[in-house]
Amino acid sequence: MNAAIKTTWGPIALAAMTALAVCWYLPSSMELFALINATVFVSMAILALSLALVWGYGGILCFGQAAFFGLGGYTYAVAAINLGDTTGAVPLAILVPAGFALLLGYFLFYGRISDVYLGVITLTVTLILFKLINATAGDRWTIGAAPLGGFNGMPMTPPLNLPGDPARMLAPEEIFAVAVACLAGAYVLCRLVLASRFGRVVVAVKENELRAELLGYDARLHKLGIFTLGGLLAGLAGLLFANCVFVSPTMFSLAYAAQAIIWVIVGGLGTLAGPIMGAILLQMLTTWAGTLPGVNANLVLGAILVVAVLALPRGLLPTAQALLGRLRRKGPA
């Protein structure tokens, strides 16, 4: 079994990073802006986790996580407006991106598309959705009672309500608590999947696809399964994001697709907790850098990526684990 699955440092790092985000962005006054920022960070951590699973363990470099992320947000908003209750909108916001990932993945994997072309196709699909949603301005672009809004987005997204009780909307701090619970649940789900027979076969296919097929495993089916799960998690991130920032075409943008890859690389490819750490830390850093006069947050993010690749090629979490392992072996002086 992969060492990253066995290690106990993953849950500790996840708890530490969540606590750090709470301490940093949730002062005693519980300012609304800080609370919304923290919820956004947690939703983005789930997006990073979805790519960490698909790329780090499935070996699938996918630029389509932003597409599933955007589909989750838009599906939630449209369903919540039309149903008048988020109870049914939540499962739809998770299942629609998962279904889209299943359909897209079927053509990709059963069509024997190579890794390079798979990345190009998923990027193209993301950009097509971005252009399509941008072109939906005007009164005629509606789904039921929900106007899509074009490049202006859908600012009237209903917040989560208690299941079956549309009159009881969740407060921002309750939505944050739900987001943290979803992050923890998604992390545990990923670890359970990777520890299962299915997960072990997925890792085996990544390491040597031909050998796995010679042993009788269907590599295409296992790739499709992990790809669909990644789409489901990205959709979950999208619906949580829709509860703190209004839904707009930027959810499908290349910026989010690229940032997810940066979070995974900086945090540690081949780990689950590492990309979560990378997502939260980098969002905190770029948000802080954006408040400084004359500082471009995107340039800061690019500089961090270059430094991380050169100085920490394995990522933050694997490097920290290796350093702690060496210190433990040395023991007391």
Question: Which residue intervals of the chain are DSSP H helices?
Answer: 3-6, 9-25, 32-51, 65-83, 86-109, 115-134, 172-195, 197-207, 209-214, 219-242, 254-267, 273-290, 297-311, 316-330
Domain 3-328 has CATH 1.10.3470: yes
Sketch the domain layout of the chain as residue ranges. Answer: 3-328
* pTM: predicted TM-score of the whole model, two decimal places: 0.89
Interhelix angle 32-51/172-195, rounded to 10 degrees, is 20
pLDDT tens, residue by residue, 125-174: 999 999 999 999 888 899 988 999 998 888 788 999 999 899 899 998 89
- 16, 273 Cβ separation under 8 angstroms: no
Helix (H, G, I), strand (E, B) or coil at 243: coil
Task: Please state, as a whole number, how many other Cβ atoms lie within 10 Å of the Cβ of residue 219.
Answer: 19
One-letter amino acid identity for 213?
E
Per-residue pLDDT of the chain (333 residues; tens, 9 = 90+): 444 444 445 555 555 555 555 555 554 445 777 888 889 999 999 999 999 999 999 999 999 899 999 999 999 999 999 999 999 999 999 999 999 999 999 999 999 888 888 989 999 999 999 999 999 988 889 998 899 999 888 878 899 999 989 989 999 889 999 999 999 999 999 999 999 999 999 999 999 999 999 999 999 999 999 999 999 999 999 999 999 888 999 999 988 998 999 999 999 999 999 999 899 988 888 888 777 787 777 787 778 778 877 888 888 888 888 888 787 777 665
pLDDT tens, residue by residue, 84-98: 999 999 999 999 999
